[in-house]
Structure 1
Amino acid sequence: MRKAIKYSLIAVIAIAALLLCAGYYMLGYALKPEELVSRSRNIESSLEYMRQTYPEVGHWIDSLQAAEALHDLYIENDEGTPLHALYVPAADSTNHTAVIVHGYTDNSIRMMMIGYLYNRQLGYNILLPDLYGHGLSGGTEVQMGWKDRLDVLRWTEEANHLFGGNTEMVVHGISMGAATTMCVSGEVQQGIYQQPFIKCFVEDCGYTSAWDEFKGELKNQFGLPAFPLLYVASTLCHIEYGWSFQEASPLEQVKKCTLPMLFIHGDADTFVPTWMVHPLYEAKPAPKELWIVPGAEHAVAYKENTEAYTRKVRDFVGTYIH
């Protein structure tokens, strides 16, 4: 009997140790991917990517740099971490402003195609943050849009001050940036957070929650169910970084948002599956619009449908920003 108890305890300890190791591995795999250094931190590579992928936007960026019209801005978040953003004033003075939020392991440069849409095509001031852990901002891990929402709220205040103090503003994000945008939207309730200048939101291919996204990737990449590994990793995330995968829920945030939101999602998206946009859209109180982009995979709706995308965004934001 004693031997049986002893062996059972050893087995339990071994399984617990294995789960702990696997949980830490998953946490690092998800929140500290190699691409944070090789892609997000590599500014020259990001500039070259834009020149090759969006030649017109690449020429525009080069012209902004030559004219010293592409500016850097640094602030600190509430924990004292330095955060970086790029900004470009409109060619003609305006109070129309867009804060544009990049995705997972991207950076502000890799969102300049949306900056081009707003600044060059629509005549807006633009500000593009590097999220925590990305680009030229401090931090070592991805926050999946959750704690990022508080940083982006700070950036909207900075943008409002930077561009005259009486802006009318849209927050527009893609992928994890869209999740961040939706998380921001739940905090902006009729000026409670002193952001009455935010008039509307555009989210492009955002996920319902970090939990749902990681659950799908755990199954797709490793063939594993959520239990027990995802539960362990989420608990470790809460211990290490102060938030859990379940807590990081754009779905819960949009339920609280009464400002207008445009939802965009490709119908061929498998990375953030298309099905996710439907509960998000249904949960969001009106006013809202939904555009399912035929044939578009993840985060390529603008690239493959530039004119239609520009028209949709122009018409939507133009309804609420005058």
Structure 2
Amino acid sequence: MKKLLKPLLAIIVLFVIIVVGGSFYMLSYSLLPSHNKGRNEAYMWKLMKHRCPGDSLWLDSLRASHALRDTFVIAADGDRHHAVYLWPNNRKKFNHKVAVLVHGYTDDYISMLPIAHIYYKMGYGIMLPDLHGNGRSDGQEQQMGWKDCKDVRQWIAVATDIFGCEKAEGKRMVPNIVVHGVSMGAATVMCLSGDPLPYNVRCFVEDCGYTSAWDEFSLQLKERFALPDFPLMYSTSALCRLRYGWSFGQASPIRQVAKCQRPMLLIHGDHDTFVPTAMVYELYKAKPAPKCLWVATDARHARSYDKHPGEYARCVSSFVNKYMH
């Protein structure tokens, strides 16, 4: 019996070491990616001009005219977060409507400028935050939308203050707000949508968001490493809770969207394999009315606008025009 016990203990210890080491690696791989392209603004400007040639001249004009204005806030954890905002071309005819646009995983505000162009043409004010750990915002780790939604709530308050206008009788005109996100930004929007929000947040647009961080990481674990959920998903999620205060299961857009009573447009590409197209149907089913779904043909992950800029713009404008008044 003693002869069997020592090898058994050695196997158990080795298993624990492998799981713990694997958990640290997987957490770093998932939330602390070695290449964060959103930290390189020069690269992001070139990338978006290449991906969205129809918006290239407008992007150049923004830089030439210095139209994008920087603003910063201090988050609850003490980190300094960055955003840019953009007034419509004719401020005197500002329609008191604002779009808060939320970028994806390892992107920055620049990645949302082509979509901002849609709202700019409609006369909206634009707020474009850099999420925690991205762009010019402090922080290291990606938050997968869960803690990001609290930061976006703060940016909604900032947008309300910046774009709020004084009326003749001394009262402020509170702008109506749509919150629109892509990929991890879409997950952020959905996580936000299930919480109590100011009355002036009228509607949401989510583009290719995932059902939960657990579902997305589980998929990547299988596809990239050919590994099952047990034990690494469980141990890495527990480590995430210890280090960052949230678990993969807790970061659940589908659970939040089920509580959302405000209008939401859900967009997804039918060739999306990174966040499988099937997820949008689960999200749409979970979301109470009012809601609308558009599945873009031949579009890969986060490429629905790139593939169909005109149809994307028409779909978004038609949806928000119903509720932004």
Instruction: Give me the TM-score of the superposition, normalised by structure 1.
Output: 0.95
Structure 1, unaligned runs of 5 or more: none
Shift of 1:91: 1.6
Structural mapping, 1:91-170, within 5 Å? 91-92=89-90, 93-119=94-120, 121-164=121-164, 166-170=174-178
Which residue of structure 1 lines up, in the alignment, with residue 194 of structure 2?
186
1:311 matched to 2:319 = no
> Could you say what secondary structure the match of 1:35 adopts?
coil
Shift of 1:150: 0.3
Which residue of structure 1 lines up, in the alignment, with residue 60 of structure 2?
62
Conservation of the 8 A alpha-carbon contact between 1:209 and 1:250: yes
Shift of 1:55: 3.0
Structure 2, unaligned runs of 5 or more: 165-172
Superposed CA offset, 1:4-58 (max 9, x none): 222222211110011000111111111011222xx11001111111222223423
Superposed CA offset, 1:66-115 (max 9, x none): 22211111101100100001110112323100000000111101111111
Indicate which of 233, 236, 241 corresponds to 2:236.
233
CA distance in 1, matches of 2:158, 2:205: 20
**Residue type of the partner of 1:79?**
D
Instruction: Give me the TM-score of the superposition, normalised by structure 2.
Output: 0.94
CA distance in 2, matches of 1:291, 1:61: 26
Conservation of the 8 A alpha-carbon contact between 1:47 and 1:58: no
> Could you say what secondary structure the match of 2:126 adopts?
strand
CA distance in 2, matches of 1:58, 1:207: 29
CA distance in 2, matches of 1:276, 1:270: 10
Which residue of structure 1 lines up, in the alignment, with residue 4 of structure 2?
4
Superposed CA offset, 1:148-193 (max 9, x none): 01000000110011101501110000111100000010113xxxx4
Which residue of structure 2 lines up, in the alignment, with residue 282 of structure 1?
285
* Identity rate, percent: 48
> Could you say what secondary structure the match of 2:135 adopts?
coil
> Could you say what secondary structure the match of 2:250 adopts?
coil
Which residue of structure 2 lines up, in the alignment, with residue 224 of structure 1?
227
Conservation of the 8 A alpha-carbon contact between 1:85 and 1:108: yes
Which residue of structure 1 lines up, in the alignment, with residue 76 of structure 2?
78
Which residue of structure 2 lines up, in the alignment, with residue 175 of structure 1?
183
> Could you say what secondary structure the match of 1:10 adopts?
helix
Further displaced range: 136-145 or 52-61: 52-61
**Residue type of the partner of 1:10?**
A
CA distance in 1, matches of 2:294, 2:59: 29
CA distance in 1, matches of 2:9, 2:38: 45
Conservation of the 8 A alpha-carbon contact between 1:102 and 1:176: yes
CA distance in 2, matches of 1:56, 1:289: 26
Superposed CA offset, 1:191-235 (max 9, x none): xx4x11100000001000000001111111111111111111111
Shift of 1:2: 2.4
**Residue type of the partner of 1:125?**
G
CA distance in 1, matches of 2:128, 2:248: 25
CA distance in 1, matches of 2:224, 2:48: 28
Which residue of structure 2 lines up, in the alignment, with residue 31 of structure 1?
31
CA distance in 1, matches of 2:134, 2:203: 25
Which residue of structure 2 lines up, in the alignment, with residue 45 of structure 1?
43
Further displaced range: 85-94 or 239-248: 85-94
Further displaced range: 26-35 or 204-213: 26-35
**Residue type of the partner of 2:78?**
G
CA distance in 1, matches of 2:125, 2:158: 12
CA distance in 2, matches of 1:275, 1:184: 22
**Residue type of the partner of 1:169?**
I
1:301 matched to 2:304 = yes
**Residue type of the partner of 1:238?**
R
CA distance in 1, matches of 2:84, 2:148: 17
**Residue type of the partner of 1:184?**
L
Shift of 1:302: 0.6
